[in-house]
Amino acid sequence: MSDSLLHTPLFGIALTLIIFQFASLFYRRFQHPLFNPVILTIIAIIVLLSVTGTPYDDYALGGDMILFLLGPAVVALGVPLYERRSEITHRLIPIAGGIIAGATASIVSASGIILLMGGSRQLALTMAPKSVTTPIAIGIADKIGAITPLTAAVVVLTGCFGALIGPSLCRLLRITDPASMGLAMGTAAHGIGTGRMLEIDVLGGAIAGLAIGLNGIATALLIPLLQGVLPPG
């Protein structure tokens, strides 16, 4: 690759889109959660940058533009939400209860495990917003003094892992109602989990989309409380 191309946003954008298209074709061919296009794209880009010795900063010139588009992508999830609004309205109280419980469990478990393993306060705060969609998680991390790049990476890994095992885990626990599955997937695995849920059931996907936004609000309100009880240092 020429140096002039590497140092332009076009490189990161084109590389991501091309690899994602091939990953999507691969996923449609085999239809297995392990071959989620997002997971395959992340792995392929890491391998390609490592093998070619391409600096991540060169890729990020365009990759960060794609990251910016995550915000509008999350907003687009409002379409299935609007289409199923009447069904969702009847479930508002259970949804609100599930969001609060899920957000609290996510924050406490992630931060608690870090502290129990001897991790620092900063690392505990870095892990706290792991189940929130990336744009919101980055905003929270910036405000609470967390390690923002690590937060972003953990958020993506959480979404990929949730999309991979979430539906099977729900079935194992005998949770078969699409609305309940969608609430769990959206709360725990944000946009990537929601995308997986939309493949399973439209109503579940719509509720998962709602859960993304509500979990973001709940997490943003709960984490400052966590800051007040965490030990210093």
Choose one of 68, 89, 120: the last residue of a domain.
Answer: 68
Q: Which amino acid type is present at position 165?
A: I
- What is the reported pLDDT for 6? 63
- What is the reported pLDDT for 99? 94
| Residue partners of 58: CB distance under 8 A and separation at least 6 | 6, 7, 11, 12
Residues of the domain holding 219: 80-229
Q: pLDDT tens across 113-124, in order?
A: 999 999 899 999
User: What's the predicted TM-score (pTM) here?
Assistant: 0.78
56 domain residue, yes or no: yes
Residues 57 and 93 in one domain: no
153 domain residue, yes or no: yes
Q: How many domains does the chain have?
A: 2
Q: pLDDT tens across 135-163, in order?
A: 889 999 998 989 998 998 899 889 888 98
Residues 104 and 186 in one domain: yes
Residues 147 and 217 in one domain: yes
Dihedral angle sign, alpha carbons of residues 141, 146, 150, 151: negative
To the nearest whole percent, how much of the chain has pLDDT over 90? 34
74 domain residue, yes or no: no
Residues 51 and 117 in one domain: no
Q: Distance between CA atoms of 192 and 129, rounded to whole angstroms?
A: 15
Query: Cβ(47)–Cβ(103) under 8 Å?
Result: no
| Residue partners of 65: CB distance under 8 A and separation at least 6 | 9, 12, 13
Residues 17 and 105 in one domain: no
Burial track 103-130 (b if 16+ CB lie within 10 A, e otherwise): beebbeebbeebbeeeeebbbbbbbbbb
Q: pLDDT tens across 178-227, in order?
A: 999 999 999 999 888 888 888 888 888 889 989 998 999 999 999 988 88
Residues 27 and 132 in one domain: no
Residues 16 and 99 in one domain: no
75 domain residue, yes or no: no
Choose one of 68, 92, 123: the last residue of a domain.
Answer: 68
- Which has more confidence, 54 or 117? 117
Residues 63 and 85 in one domain: no
Residues 211 and 117 in one domain: yes
Residues 106 and 173 in one domain: yes
73 domain residue, yes or no: no
Q: Distance between CA atoms of 56 and 60, rounded to whole angstroms?
A: 6
Helices (H), 53-91: 56-68, 70-76, 78-83, 85-89
Query: Cβ(65)–Cβ(10) under 8 Å?
Result: no
Residues 123 and 52 in one domain: no
Tokens for 28, please give them: 């449609």
- What are all long-range contacts of 1-4, with beta carbons under 8 Å and residues at least 24 apart? 1/52, 1/54
Q: Distance between CA atoms of 71 and 179, rounded to whole angstroms?
A: 24
13 domain residue, yes or no: yes
Residues 88 and 203 in one domain: yes
211 domain residue, yes or no: yes
141 domain residue, yes or no: yes
- What is the reported pLDDT for 15? 87
Choose one of 22, 37, 68: the last residue of a domain.
Answer: 68
Can you say how many angstroms the Cα of residue 132 is from the centroid of all Cα atoms in its chain? 6
Query: Cβ(23)–Cβ(42) under 8 Å?
Result: no
